[in-house]
Amino acid sequence: MRTAEQFTSPPKDYNVVVPDGWFQLPLDPDDRDRGIAVLAERMFRGVDNAPHLKQQFMRDLQRKAKDAYNVGEPSSTSPP
């Protein structure tokens, strides 16, 4: 196994295994909106009188997912 000093760049992808019953949200921009919609449907299944809460949940999760994705993206101002 290699040590941290032997890597020349950070990994570009990660895989996370979550326990049964948990929801794994993809952070990739091509997939995250669909994942957020699926999770919101699951969370609010059977709740008909809370569309505002559902939309707020989706917007908040969208922002958090974008922030999490951007943590792994190289900054245009950072040195190579």
pTM: 0.66
Decide if pLDDT at 76 tops 50.
Answer: no
Q: Nearest Cα to 12, choosing from 75, 70, 72, 80?
A: 72
Range of weakest confidence among 10-14, 28-32, 46-50, 60-64: 10-14
Give the integer Cα–Cα distance in Å for 58 and 52.
10
Give the integer Cα–Cα distance in Å for 79 and 10. 14
Instruction: Quickly state the pLDDT bin for 74 (edges 50, 70, 90).
Output: low
Buried b vs exposed e over 16-52: b needs ≥16 C-beta within 10 Å? eeeeeeeeebebeeeebeebbeebbeeeeeeeeeeee
Residue 47 has pLDDT above 80, yes or no: yes
**Does 73 score more than 70 pLDDT?**
no
